[in-house]
Amino acid sequence: MGRQQKIKKLRKEGILKSTKVDKKRNSEIRKMFIWIPSIIIVIVLIFGIWAYSAKDTNATVNGVKITSAEVTEMLLPVKDNMRQQGLDPDDPEQAPNLEKYKSSIIEMLIDKALVEEFAKDNNITISEDILNERVDAEIASILSQYETQEAFEKQLAQSAIRNEANLRKEIVKSLQPSLLEDEVLKEKFGSIEISEEDARIFFNSPFAIEAQRVFIATDDTMDEATLQEKENTINELRAKIANNEMSFEKAVAEYSEDNASKVNAGKISLQEGSLVEEPEIWESVVKLNNDDLSSTVKTKKGYSIVKINNIVRNKERYNKPESAKILKIGLQAQEGATAEEKNKVLVNATGYVNTIREGKETFENIATTYSLIPDQGIAPAEVYPGSNPDTDEIVFQTLSVGDVSDPISLNNGSIEIIKLVEKNPEVIAEFSLLKDTVAKTMEDQEKARVREVFLTEIRDNAKISHSNPWQRLNSWWDQTFGGFFESFKNWIRQYTVDPLPESKTPDSTGQDGNFTIPVGDTGETITIDPEQMESMNFPVETEQTQAP
């Protein structure tokens, strides 16, 4: 009896009851199981396509994209500068540094986008007169670095810019962000006033202080008795130091609880704002002089005594050390050159010097034709005593303005020829001569503070994202399904045979279908006819136990 017949018989006997199937409901359930996954798949696909389209976005500012192309373009000068310093920007070791530069560029582009949006919303534009004036000033500044207009134009022609018209376009492009900021902040900047007395106080104020500190820590959990005990201890220490009953170094070694400075006799470097959580320290020492001892300073971190070792005042930053402007011709024999070849370079260098001194050729033309770095022979570089010990004596003691040196053999095996373009003696700053410059410095500092406050305000009200949908999608995948599929892949690999290394893979040779197989590590091979492989007996390696 078949299965269906048994079911019918059981139903007749009343053992099984007939059930009515709701075909409509089953159909709806089937549709649900089809449509819900389908809708989910479509949504994921649409989101994936949209996310992929934004994969080259480094950040967004109120919907405005900052693309990888923009960031890459602004990284190019950074990479060029790294190469000039002998660093390879593509070296994996430089990746962290490059990433820092990249992050800074992205933040700068975010600020630029915010300012542009603010300017657009408030109908703020850059005056053409102001733009042209600034561009002309930049062109004049660049031109001043060359001895002649012809040298300037020749250098332009040899560069990627080619001509002055293209240079102006590049300058406009670089100036527009800062000029637009100036227009946006024009009213705020206009309210900044720096008096002559303000400038004088700033001129004589400390810029940086080298000091030592004894520190005793406190915290909010201490009771009044403990706090009083610590205050008494620091006051007693100060009295002993002031009365020469104890050296400052001994007080640091025995009592200081600032582990970072304690290992270095309590030495610290101070600048305004350098100790963010202890601003009282700077306020207490800013009016002291060298070798002075501060009073006991209370901060939220604890108690301190500070001894002043050396003060660098703002006016010292305006001192001008002795300096010179020079042109250079650099020559060097090829790597691995013989002594004769190296001597030939020296002979050529001597010839170049004589040619220049006799007026048969200009220094710039020789540099352009023969120097390892032609730009160094065209645009004067400013140098200071100590910047290049190999040539300091010649530049600052031997040459007069306009002189060309004999060939100079450097420690690295290269040869330099130097032309002294300008020499300037050391200048000690005087406020009466620099009051306008000092006031401008203070004004610029205040502008920077105002700008920072403004950018913080518009950032707080902006919608800024430092990632993109594609990165978020990849991150979501890794956190959800990525681990599962990675585990599944590893599980599959456990039960599969990894492919043979390329060196062990049979290699087909010729038209006859024979295979060449390497034998061992000796480089020997054997050739096998595939048709004969079944009849061949291959020896089986067995473990051998070596007798002791």
- Of 53-67, 446-460, 533-547, highest mean pLDDT: 446-460
| pTM of the predicted protein model | 0.61
Q: Judge contact between 171 and 139, C-beta under 8 A.
A: yes
* Residue 496: C-alpha distances to residues 371, 482, 505 (Å): 62, 21, 17
pLDDT tens column, 206-236: 999 999 999 999 998 999 999 999 999 999 9
pLDDT digits (tens, 9 = 90+) for 252-308: 999 999 999 999 999 999 998 888 899 999 999 999 999 999 999 999 999 999 999
Who contacts 322 (Cβ-Cβ below 8 Å, separation ≥6)? 384, 385, 396, 424, 425, 426
Task: Specify the pLDDT at position 500.
Answer: 46
pLDDT band at 116 (very low <50, low <70, confident <90, very high): very high
User: What mean pLDDT, rounded, does the chain reach?
Assistant: 84
- Does the structure show a pLDDT above 90 at 524? no
Q: Is 45 exposed, middle or buried (0-12, 13-18, 19+ CB in 10 A)?
A: exposed
Q: Is the pLDDT of residue 351 over 80?
A: yes
Domain 323-424 class?
alpha beta
Q: Is 240 exposed, middle or buried (0-12, 13-18, 19+ CB in 10 A)?
A: middle
User: Tokens standing for 320?
Assistant: 């001008």
Query: Has domain 198-318 been given CATH number 1.25.50.10?
Result: no
The reported pLDDT for the residue numbered 269 is 94
Give which of 163, 109, 174, 161 is closest to 135, Cα–Cα.
174
Q: What is the reported pLDDT for 542? A: 41
Helix (H) / strand (E) containing 420: strand 415-424
DSSP H/E element including 313: strand 302-313
Q: Per-residue pLDDT averaged across 331-341, rounded?
A: 88
Instruction: Report the Cα 516 to chain-centroid distance in Å.
Output: 53
Q: How far is CA 470 from CA 73, 96, 261, 313, 475, in A?
A: 22, 23, 47, 52, 8
Q: Where are the alpha helices (DSSP H) in 328-379?
A: 339-357, 363-370
- Please check whether residue 208 is in contact with residue 312, taking contact to mean a CB–CB distance below 8 angstroms: yes
Q: What is the mean pLDDT of residues 122-143?
A: 92
User: What does the pLDDT look like over 485-519, one tens digit per residue?
Assistant: 677 677 777 666 555 454 444 444 444 555 555 54
The beta strand positions in 19-172, using DSSP E, are 57-61, 64-67
